[in-house]
Amino acid sequence: MPIALDDPRVRLLKTAFVTYYHSDLNKAIKFLLDFGFEIAEQRDDVTFFKGYGPDPYCYVARRAEDGLSKFGGPAYLIESEEDLQKASRIPGASTISKLDAPGGGVSITLTDPVGHQVHLVHGVKEKEPESKDLQKLVVNYEDDKPRIGRFQRFKMGPAPVHKWGHYGVSYPPGTYQKMVDWYTSNLTLAFSDKVTIEGKEAVSFFHIDRGTDYVDHHSFYIKPASKDEKPDVAHSAFEVHDFDVQQLAHNYLESKGYELSWGVGRHVLGSQIFDYWYDVSGFEVEHYADGDLVNSETPVTVQENGPNTMYVWGPPRPATRV
């Protein structure tokens, strides 16, 4: 059962898209195509990229007019016009405006306590999901071998993106609780897991609260920024079909000379198989597959930060890029 209609928070339905501004838009477009997106619509200063799911687009690449690449914020699809009105009453909210983008709709922008923008959209028309002929593999185990006389054959190339799944941002010292309070009181985001550093809550993963309906383990997370670091986007993650598609794309991106951040491995919190890359503007983007689903009845874990909170297998987490 979804959350109640009289919930005072703005009711989120699902993730919609993320926006990035790039100093070299042409180079960014080339990377994003190699990453696995397809172009939904292209204009002089903006390109809308789609996956094969029902969203008309899931990544917006805009030209940075000032020459400075930056994150333009996430967008969530919200449930109703009533939720737009709720959002408009949140301090600092923008006016409601039309979306000049595939699928149409309207948008309103919020700003969190440390300056990160959050866009809420409504009335966006979905497209028909597209077939990519991605097979659900039959796997042979040591004691059960159902794949008889059939072979696993693959081809290296971009991993077709299904949807935008989640993102994270950093926050400055002393603002963790302000961030938690703002997101959980204004939007239907609920804890999935919490990570402590020296016993204090510091990293939190949030899912879209749809009551007992199952949803992705997290659509959003927060982490502390270092003392010398400006709060910014951490990464944005995009769902792909399975591990083989992901690994083939890893090899493909490697062959193109792009810069690997971290992967391939499997997370603990969320269980996703992950593969992180730097785009041409230096932003971290992730392919992920096989993530967990949670609901309001799923226990929230709390654990101390360490190697065992980040990954089960895979290469060690590299140092932060300079």
Number of separate domains in the chain: 1
Q: What is the DSSP letter of 230?
A: -
pLDDT at 319: 75
What is the per-residue pLDDT across 77-111, written as a single tens digit (0 to 9) for each? 999 999 999 999 999 999 999 999 999 999 999 99
pLDDT at 51: 98
pLDDT reading at 243 higher than 50: yes
CA distance 74 to 211: 22
pLDDT reading at 322 higher than 50: no
pLDDT reading at 58 higher than 60: yes
Residue 312 token pair: 């089960």
Residues paired with 302 in a beta bridge: 194
Lowest mean pLDDT among 119-128, 131-140, 312-321: 312-321
Residues 18 and 60 sit within 8 Å (Cβ to Cβ)? yes
Give the containing element (helix H, strand E) for 56: none
Whether 137 maps to a domain, the answer reads no
Give the containing element (helix H, strand E) for 246: helix 243-255
Q: What is the DSSP string of 127-147?
A: PPPPP---------BTTB---
State the average pLDDT for the chain.
Answer: 95
Whether 135 maps to a domain, the answer reads no
pLDDT at 1: 66
What is the per-residue pLDDT across 250-308, written as a single tens digit (0 to 9) for each? 999 999 999 999 999 999 999 999 999 999 999 999 999 999 999 999 999 999 998 78
More confident residue, 318 or 32: 32
Whether 108 maps to a domain, the answer reads yes
pLDDT at 226: 83
pLDDT at 317: 86
Give the containing element (helix H, strand E) for 67: none
What is the per-residue pLDDT across 164-207, written as a single tens digit (0 to 9) for each? 999 999 999 999 999 999 999 999 999 999 999 999 999 999 99
pLDDT at 320: 66
Mean pLDDT of 112-125: 98
Whether 232 maps to a domain, the answer reads yes
Whether 153 maps to a domain, the answer reads no
- The alpha carbon dihedral of 55, 108, 44, 37 has a sign of negative
* CATH code, domain with 70: 3.10.180.10
For the question of whether the overall pTM of this predicted structure is more than 0.85, the answer is yes
Query: How buried is 127 (Cβ within 10 angstroms: 0-12 exposed, 13-18 middle, 19+ buried)?
Result: middle
* 277: nearest Cα among 169, 158, 163: 158
% of the chain residues with pLDDT over 90: 91
Residue 283: phi, psi to the nearest 5? -80, 145
Whether 143 maps to a domain, the answer reads no
CA distance 48 to 19: 9
Whether 151 maps to a domain, the answer reads no
pLDDT at 196: 96
Instruction: Supply the range of the domain harboring residue 187.
Output: 12-125+162-313
pLDDT reading at 4 higher than 80: no
Residue 320 token pair: 């932060």
pLDDT reading at 318 higher than 90: no
Whether 148 maps to a domain, the answer reads no
Q: Which residues contact 66 (CB under 8 A, 6 or more apart)?
A: none
CA distance 186 to 10: 6
